[in-house]
Structure 1
Amino acid sequence: MAEDLIVHGAEEIVSRLISVAFDEIGLLLCVKRDAQSLQASLNSIHATLQDAEEKQVKEKLIRVWLEELKQVAYDVEDVFDEIAYEQLRRSILINNKGCYYYISSSFITRFALRFQFAHQIKAINLRLADIDSRKTRLTLLNNASSSNPATGIDRETTSFVDYSDVVGREDDKENIVRMLINQEITSVIAIYGLGGLGKTTLAQIAYNDDAVQKHFDLRVWICVSDNFNTTNLFTQILEQIPDTTKPQSSTKQVLENALKEQLMGKKFLLVLDDVWTEQQEKWEDFAPPLKNSGATGSKIIVTCRSHDVALTVRARAEDMYQLKGLRDDECWNIIQRQAFCPGGLMTYSRLEKIGREISKKCKGVPLVAKVLGGLLYSKKETEWLALLRAEIWNLTFEKEENYIIEVLKLSYNSLSPTLKSCFSYCAIFPKDYWISKELLIQLWMAQGFLEAPATQGESTMEDKGNTYLNSLYSKSFFQEAQMDKFEEIKWFKMHDLVQDLAQSICKSECQIVGEGNITREDFSKCRHVSLMSPKKVEALEKAKKLRTFFDLESNSDEELDNEGAFKFKLLRILDLSGFKGCNIPSSSHCKLKHLRYLDLSFTGIESLPRWVTRLYHLQTLKLRGCKKLTELSEDLKNLKKLRHLFIDEYVKWKKMPHSIGELHQLQTLPIFVASEKNAGRGITALKNLNNLGGTLNIHCLCRVKEASLAKGANILSEKRNLRELRLHWDSPWSAGGGDGDELLVLEALRPHANLQRLSIEGFGGVEFPAWVSNGSDLPNLVGMELSRCHHCEHIPSLGGLRGLKWLVIRYMSQVKHFGVSKDGCVGTSSAPPLSYHSMKKLELRSMANLEEWLEGDGVMFPCLEELSIDDCPNLRRAPHSFPLLKSLKLENVGGMGVVSITSSLTSLTFLTIEKCKDLEFLPEGVVSNNSQLHTVLIRDCPKLQAFREEGLASASALAAAADEILPNRFLRKVEIDESDFSSESEGILMIENCRELESIGKGFLSSLVFLESLDVRNCGKLKYIELSQSFTELQILCFHNCGNLTQLPSKEQMLRLTSLNELMIWGCPAISSIDLPTLPSLRQLMVRDCLAISSIDLPTLPSLRQLNITYCEGLQGLQGLQFLTALEDLQLGPFSEELTDFPFALESNNPLILPSLRHLQIHGWDALQSLPNQLQRLTTLKSLYICNFSQLTELPEWLGNLKSLEDLQIFGCKNLRHLPSKEQMHQLIFLKKLYILSCPSLKERCSREWEGDGPEWPKISHIPYLSVL
């Protein structure tokens, strides 16, 4: 229970602090007896805590007793924390100014502190004595010998166990995928069911399914939780859409317009995970812009626990998917994965029978199975039986989710006291919050949950935090881990029900400010607060003993008051990151003696406040994004316990304080800048920081002189925890280089052998020191980057780095030869060449003088998978043997080099060749020899004369662009010998920017029997195209900006396109007419900016959902519109200026014209005086967009007949003055949104700001959402 956590932690800290007080401080000799009495009382009480924890569930008096004990334990911790602070202050004062100064200047202060501490300890002793005496009356038993619960063996893992294999959801996945792909309507799919069943997991595996990814143009995943706010959701969606410019305003209307623009015509999939709202008005405010903008077939998936939520989001009955529980055998599958994974029990056969019985207790819930499996890990048979016979299985619960919570408590109760503390503290995070592993460990450390090592060589607090986090993850308290570049956990989440458990344990001690209605009384016992709304800080008035003040919403423009969080004197954690208006106090006003974690990132401070250097307990200091902060104080040396200092690389640091070298516990220092003066002294400040880990950037090494390093050699060689080292000689803010011997400087910066990544930038030497390429010096190196070393003439052999997986060499302008030299050696070495047997990725860029990339005998790169060469125009010789190469990108590379590299490839999946100006030919078989090749892109190769393939049998994607097609821009005809495809993968052919291309014959296309998409763009001289008879798989056909294309493929050829889904003709001004055959699968048709088209005759198109015929200013006839019975989305106009009415008729015997039509956009032109009367028969419309009817003065009365209308938008009708009558407008009973933009006359008449209401205002005042701009 939570009470046990606090008391156990308090006793541990009190014991440590008493030891510190007697052994080091010497302040409390007069109260030694009282301190011993205090410790004795705590020991006596602690012996009964296990019995108290078990009995408190049923006995209220024991709960009260535990609560009082908890409060006293907090107070004891606070007192001894102050004692430790004074000891540190004394030690630092003596160190800085001498013992005599301390004795002469602080006698009165020391006497006052001694008296203060003595008084506090006596008062605490009285309270503890009372609590100790009452434990006898409560009949608590002494269980000291077994007070800690058995936790079993923790799994021996270096990273987190991957449970991505989903059990028992294959059919569910297929059902959801089928609903997404096969239903060609825009709809909402609601997946609902009990918490812990795996709704999010099911949505994820469907979202990432290959067929789903190909089916949708755009996919967005949003985690909603219980905060359903339309503006926030629009913002999140826009942030996930690629290449989207952030709107200048964050108002709902601006965001909605931006979202409509991004989604227009795109088939999108939006997942709204974990939706709770049952308020219909919130959904109606959110959903229409999405449904009205996307292409037909767009989908929204909503995951929720409640059937009522599924009804709220307007999911059709057939789109409501109730997720059922797993079978018992599937639950057993999950349990055994957890219980018998490496490091656990191996006696599977004896435990299987018990385990299968336990699996029946899971009630089909995967989360329960995971938790029970984690609980059984490494347990004995007797413990398996004890779990099977646990009392919980006999209890009844009003709600199924209460049952799951109780199962989670079983696992929680098995944790050690420290793990319980670590887990329950996570209640400060809201649901669905991505928790940073690094951050959480720092917070645990600041709260004292991670014990400091007693001796050198023991695990650090951070190591212990990693172990605890791994343990909690393995027991399913944490999930959804995301990894960093070192393949270690970076972020993770907690399941909603696990979060509920944490918050139920902490009760009033942890509060998330900004969630719900919070009163001041709620904070009287609060110790930890996380902030979602700065406006509610005043609610913390009674939180006198607050220990955590944590900001959840960074980059807030809101301000804290003058005192803000600084009035809470017992804080261990203070996070003000992003409070730009925060008033940081001066030194005299801040007395946060207990502070261990301080985050002032993005606060705009210009210098480090003096009080920060007096936070002697401080372990973590974060100053990210403080752009005005350019140097740190020398007084930083006072922070002897500082372990993590976070500063940004892009800030223009003038220098680092030399005293930073005295922070011997420092582990995190992302950047170090050498000073301009006393350069050697500045760099040698790093020498004693041997606990540094993670990534270290050292800038301005151009300032360092060889002589200054004489006493500071081996500056980095003892830093065994350093993972990544980046050495920068120049920097954006330093001018010029130094005059020292740069080779000796780099030699002195040899890192420890544990280094994994190395980057050297701007090094001025002619060659590199031996350690850079020595496998014994860098045996663990996996990645290296050499950049902007402009004087370097030789790149050493790196084959000796046996673990090297990726290499980047950039901007090395003097290098002419790379690889094996003419005498068989590599670089300047006389040793025989070594193959790069681990290398998987190689990049060469901007090496203007590189002529030869040589190789010795045998295969030098046997495992290389990705090769990118850019801006090496003189490369004429290169290796040809890359047996496993999958991705090849060549840009501005010498032609002979291209030929050599591509001559023997057999494993390619992706090939790009661009801007190779002297490339005349490609070797035969470059495509056909690579059976897995799916994408080929050749662009801007003006001399390429031939690219012939006898068997283009496996390329499923072929693109040619920018002044060349498969041969080149001078070629008038494209032809590849006919052959059969053997691949059944998706085929995409794009022909783009081939300005001299005049025709595409069927001989070229006939071999592409599995082609699914043909896209021809910016081919200005293309006159015609012939389609192959074999195009039965073609789904997308697009012609864009083909100025001389006079006709589409013949009707007979088009008739064969039985699978065609989308047809787009855009910007083809020479096409005069369109006469299509019946295309049974066509769902989207766009004809836009085709100025010469005079008529369009639409056949029966039974599947057409979306039709766009716009900006065809010569169009005078449109036939067949009335027969499009499946049409849902229609966009029309503007057409010929000679017309005074729209050129279509809707005559039909069917009284309901276009029965499926939901969305209509209609664009006018100057000759039109009114809306087309044909529209009044479209009674199924839900949204109507009227644009640019400049001569329109009033809307017709029949508009009131469109009784299904929900959304009406009027734009650019500058002379419009009158809406339909009030009676007609009030007949639109479903109308919820009205937008009027750029209609100045109507805007004035709808206004409420002039002399009384405008005459049109009464007609629209009842509409819920109005915008008149």
Structure 2
Amino acid sequence: MWISQGFVHGNHTGKKLEDIGKAYLADLVNSGFFQHVGRHRLYSNSFVMHDLMHDLAREVSRADFATIDGTECKEILPTTRHLSVVTHFAYSIDQHGNAISCENFKRKLLLVTSLKKLRSLVLIGNSGPTFFKCFQNMFKEAASLRLLQISATTYADIGCFISYLVSCTHIRYIKLNSYGMRCELPQALSNFFHLQVLDVNTYADPTLPTGMNNLVHLQHLVAKEDVHSTIDRIGKMTSLQELPIFRVQNACGFDIKQLKFMNQLVKLGIYQLENVKSKRDASEARLIDKGHLEALCFLWDSDSTSLGISAETATEVLEGLKPHQNLKHLQIIGYSGYISPSWFSTGLSVTSLQLLHLENCKEWRVLPSLEKLPFLKKLKLINICHVKELGIPCLEELVLTDLPSLEKCVATFKRELDFHLRVLIIENCYELKVFTPFELQNLCSSEVEQRPWRLSLEDTSAGNEFSSAEAAQKKWLSGLRVLKIHGCPRLMLLHPLPPAENTQVSVQPLLTYPALEKNSNDLSVMSSKELRVLDAKILAFQNLTDVTSLHIGHCPNLVFLSFEGFRQLLNLRKMVIVSCGNLVSSCIVPGVSETWNATNYPAFPRLGHLKIESCGGIAGKWLTEMLPHMQSLEELDIEDCPQMKSISIHRPRQEVETGRLASQAVLPRLAQDEFGLYIPLNILSTLEKLHIRRCPGMQLYGSKEGYGGFTSLTELVITGCPMLLSSADERFSLPPSVPDLHIEFLPRSFAGAPDPQLSAAGCIGGHAISEFPSNLVN
């Protein structure tokens, strides 16, 4: 808009007017005239003006600017250069999409005169044919109009307006908003010979009028990318800066020679390159002359090989498409050649590249030396079948997908890569064994074999568990924000994850690592038969302080959880353990249990929900040692744990006095009773929901109060546990008030009267609560 009004001056600096305009905007932001508010749904950057600054600007420029808003129409001065007409309150849309006008508003519009100096016209809001008829005589004298922005119900309405009522002599900028997405643009647009910007919305897919190539001064056509490819003889539009899709065709007006003189291009995509038959034809595009070109895409259709296009022909064509050395972004898709062109190998000329994207180049065997690209920041290699070794420079984004032969990937500048890398995605690289960013520094292969991740429990003492791991972790990929590793079964990872706070992680099982998913505040450790110890060599606990939910599943040989590590999960609210049958108390590190005080140093200070499911090897002793650390537990689910043989609803007196975890002096019976579950005092006062399912051998021991000791319990579910209630004392008691109750296998002598407030959905022994006689008492 600024350029169309002549506000931006080149001053013979050689810079593009767009770049100079951006510098103007930066100066205005720094001066406080505008405020940067970040991304908008349609724009990469958005700026606003403060209300006070806006009022001041309107006051200073009141002789040049005017607004007609709704039914209010103030006098328009003869000096007015910029006019906005807002019709939000003057027009409405009926159910058929037609604009319904306000007659009073139209009468006031007709009073507007003296628009000879008008340079900008912005029509905002709903409008229609009757609205444009109001301007039959108003804008004929606006011969200096340079900017036109219109919202209308259809392009037909716009066409009527610009065909007969607006002079096309000086217009530089047109923005059209229409409710129709696939309409025909007015034929009159092809007569705006000085037009520089035509914006019909990037979501719109209109049909362009014939003769669009007459717009030789057009620099920007804002529409869906494929719209550009429909312009016949587009080579006449030598001022165009964006041509995202140019489809090479064997037809006059669509051959690759059309690109020869389009030297102002900044973005170019050349599609259907299978229609270019030789290096000589390809060189007719003269890409070497396009010094402003920053983003370039070469694309062969995926079925080009089936059309008889040989690898040699593809190589010659790519050789002839040598770009200018200033190129920053390069995409090559569907290339069927075996080797790199000379300008991309021995005579590497595109040394300014910042992004390189190679995709579906299945026969490419030797990639160029990427270390010679000092400015390269993003590298994407997708579906390249024969590359076995790859060297990567210092990058910000690395994507390796579907490289089935890749065996080795070496980082040339590993230390710099650790700091700069932001995105790392490796998928379906089945033979990849060596990825040097994952290796430990100063650690030889023999040492790796002696320090596998399946370490012995003696190496996990609290004193040395974190020192070396945390020191290495602070530097390793410290800037990474996205990590995804799928389909790489041979890859070895020797660092704990995630490498940094707020890193999104998705890792499928590796040679030395379980499946791991971290998204937002959820963490899952899944599907590993080899995992025995979950400690600081697997998880970087110091980077997981934001985790609120933890799921550990299908790790049948897992025997140890690091309490020292879990103490750092200060915000953990929920933990689910599924199919981890070997978590047993004998795996507590010697010396730790006697020195930890569960009251003063709890491992799970905010845990509110614990669920243990299908853990056939977990005995009651392991859970007994865990519960004193859960001082905020509100929900406990135990399901399909047959090794839990008993549950006691009280604690020994010594445990209340000391609060120690798993000490022989604290719980004397635990040494003899591996299968008993003891509920500590802190759980009795906080637990609100207790679910016990499919524990057929579990029995109830302890106080005659039974479940009445749970003073905060609001929901009790016991199913598939026939011995749990039958083992109770003759006078078994429920909690004082449990609104939600579901119990199977009711004992013969049930002494607990259902509370009148119990949920009607609850049942006892397979009977509805309402079926029990009201004279049952405790």
Greater percentage in strand: 2
The superposition leaves residues 383-415 of structure 1 with CA deviations (integer Å, 9 ceiling, x where unpaired) of: xxxxxxxxxxxxxxxxxxxxxxxxxxxxxxxxx
Equivalent position amino acid for 1:477 in 2: F
Q: Distance in 2 between matches of 1:700 and 1:1014?
A: 55
2:295 aligned partner:
724
| Count, aligned residues | 624
2:337 aligned partner:
765
Deviation at 1:747, TM superposition (A): 2.8
Stretches of structure 2 that go unaligned for 5 or more consecutive residues are 92-100, 443-452, 455-468, 516-520, 650-678, 701-705, 726-731, 772-778
CA contact (8 A) 1:1098 1:1121 kept: no
Describe the shift of the 1:549–1:788 C-alpha distance in structure 2 as closer, same or farther (beyond 3 A).
farther
Describe the shift of the 1:592–1:1056 C-alpha distance in structure 2 as closer, same or farther (beyond 3 A).
same
Describe the shift of the 1:848–1:979 C-alpha distance in structure 2 as closer, same or farther (beyond 3 A).
closer
Aligned-partner SS, 1:722:
coil
**Partner of residue 128 from structure 2, selected from 549, 557, 561:** 561
**Partner of residue 1165 from structure 1, selected from 732, 738, 761:** 761
CA contact (8 A) 2:407 2:432 kept: yes
2:198 aligned partner:
621
1:683-702 aligned at under 5 Å gives the runs 683-693=256-266, 695-702=267-274
Describe the shift of the 1:728–1:1133 C-alpha distance in structure 2 as closer, same or farther (beyond 3 A).
farther
1:816 is the counterpart of 2:391: no
**Partner of residue 604 from structure 2, selected from 1034, 1044, 1051:** 1034
Deviation at 1:673, TM superposition (A): 2.6
Deviation at 1:1111, TM superposition (A): 8.2
Q: Distance in 2 between matches of 1:918 and 1:1079?
A: 46
Deviation at 1:710, TM superposition (A): 6.4
Aligned-partner SS, 1:863:
helix
Describe the shift of the 1:938–1:504 C-alpha distance in structure 2 as closer, same or farther (beyond 3 A).
closer
Describe the shift of the 1:1078–1:583 C-alpha distance in structure 2 as closer, same or farther (beyond 3 A).
farther
1:213-252 aligned at under 5 Å gives the runs none
1:529 aligned partner:
84
Describe the shift of the 1:1043–1:862 C-alpha distance in structure 2 as closer, same or farther (beyond 3 A).
closer
2:236 aligned partner:
662
1:15-30 aligned at under 5 Å gives the runs none
Describe the shift of the 1:918–1:654 C-alpha distance in structure 2 as closer, same or farther (beyond 3 A).
same
Q: Distance in 1 between matches of 2:65 and 2:754?
A: 68
1:477 is the counterpart of 2:36: no
1:671 is the counterpart of 2:230: no
Q: Distance in 1 between matches of 2:59 and 2:584?
A: 69
1:839 aligned partner:
395
2:7 aligned partner:
449
Identical amino acids, percent of aligned pairs: 22
2:464 aligned partner:
none
Describe the shift of the 1:520–1:448 C-alpha distance in structure 2 as closer, same or farther (beyond 3 A).
farther
Q: Distance in 2 between matches of 1:521 and 1:548?
A: 18
1:643 is the counterpart of 2:219: yes
Equivalent position amino acid for 2:71 in 1: T
**Partner of residue 427 from structure 2, selected from 850, 859, 870:** 870
1:80 aligned partner:
none
Q: Distance in 1 between matches of 2:259 and 2:159?
A: 31
Describe the shift of the 1:609–1:706 C-alpha distance in structure 2 as closer, same or farther (beyond 3 A).
farther
2:660 aligned partner:
none
Equivalent position amino acid for 2:576 in 1: R
Describe the shift of the 1:768–1:940 C-alpha distance in structure 2 as closer, same or farther (beyond 3 A).
closer
1:1055 is the counterpart of 2:628: yes
CA contact (8 A) 2:429 2:488 kept: no
Q: Distance in 2 between matches of 1:1032 and 1:672?
A: 65
Deviation at 1:644, TM superposition (A): 1.1
CA contact (8 A) 1:781 1:801 kept: yes
2:527 aligned partner:
963
CA contact (8 A) 2:602 2:629 kept: yes
1:745 is the counterpart of 2:317: yes
Q: Distance in 2 between matches of 1:981 and 1:707?
A: 54
Describe the shift of the 1:1054–1:1133 C-alpha distance in structure 2 as closer, same or farther (beyond 3 A).
same
Equivalent position amino acid for 1:476 in 2: G
1:370-389 aligned at under 5 Å gives the runs none
The superposition leaves residues 450-509 of structure 1 with CA deviations (integer Å, 9 ceiling, x where unpaired) of: 35x69x76555434422322221221111226489xxx9833232333233334445597
CA contact (8 A) 2:404 2:428 kept: yes
1:466 aligned partner:
22
1:1094-1133 aligned at under 5 Å gives the runs 1109=715, 1119=735, 1133=740
CA contact (8 A) 1:759 1:785 kept: yes
Aligned-partner SS, 1:875:
coil
Q: Distance in 2 between matches of 1:1018 and 1:566?
A: 72
Describe the shift of the 1:468–1:659 C-alpha distance in structure 2 as closer, same or farther (beyond 3 A).
same
1:519 is the counterpart of 2:71: yes
2:184 aligned partner:
607
Deviation at 1:873, TM superposition (A): 0.3
Describe the shift of the 1:884–1:1053 C-alpha distance in structure 2 as closer, same or farther (beyond 3 A).
closer
Deviation at 1:621, TM superposition (A): 0.8
Describe the shift of the 1:607–1:720 C-alpha distance in structure 2 as closer, same or farther (beyond 3 A).
same
Q: Distance in 2 between matches of 1:489 and 1:1090?
A: 53
The superposition leaves residues 1219-1262 of structure 1 with CA deviations (integer Å, 9 ceiling, x where unpaired) of: xxxxxxxxxxxxxxxxxxxxxxxxxxxxxxxxxxxxxxxxxxxx
CA contact (8 A) 1:1164 1:1190 kept: yes
Q: Distance in 2 between matches of 1:732 and 1:564?
A: 52
1:592 aligned partner:
166
CA contact (8 A) 1:700 1:731 kept: no
Deviation at 1:580, TM superposition (A): 6.6
Aligned-partner SS, 1:477:
coil
Equivalent position amino acid for 2:331 in 1: S
The superposition leaves residues 158-190 of structure 1 with CA deviations (integer Å, 9 ceiling, x where unpaired) of: xxxxxxxxxxxxxxxxxxxxxxxxxxxxxxxxx
Greater percentage in helix: 1
> TM-score of the superposition, structure 2-length normalised?
0.64
1:65-214 aligned at under 5 Å gives the runs none
CA contact (8 A) 2:249 2:255 kept: yes
Q: Distance in 2 between matches of 1:742 and 1:460?
A: 35
Q: Distance in 1 between matches of 2:506 and 2:349?
A: 42
Deviation at 1:592, TM superposition (A): 2.6
1:220-619 aligned at under 5 Å gives the runs 443-450=1-8, 460-480=16-36, 482=38, 490-506=45-61, 518-522=70-74, 524=76, 527-529=82-84, 531=86, 533=88, 536=91, 538=102, 539=105, 542=109, 545=115, 548=120, 550=122, 560-564=127-131, 568=135, 569=139, 570=142, 572-576=146-150, 583-585=157-159, 589-594=163-168, 595-600=171-176, 603-619=180-196
Describe the shift of the 1:767–1:479 C-alpha distance in structure 2 as closer, same or farther (beyond 3 A).
same
Equivalent position amino acid for 1:446 in 2: S
Q: Distance in 2 between matches of 1:984 and 1:742?
A: 48
Q: Distance in 2 between matches of 1:1081 and 1:497?
A: 60
Aligned-partner SS, 1:741:
helix
1:941 aligned partner:
509
CA contact (8 A) 2:186 2:209 kept: no
Q: Distance in 1 between matches of 2:304 and 2:737?
A: 65
Equivalent position amino acid for 1:562 in 2: P
**Partner of residue 328 from structure 2, selected from 756, 760, 763:** 756
Stretches of structure 1 that go unaligned for 5 or more consecutive residues are 1-442, 554-558, 820-834, 886-897, 948-956, 1102-1106, 1123-1131, 1147-1161, 1169-1188, 1192-1269
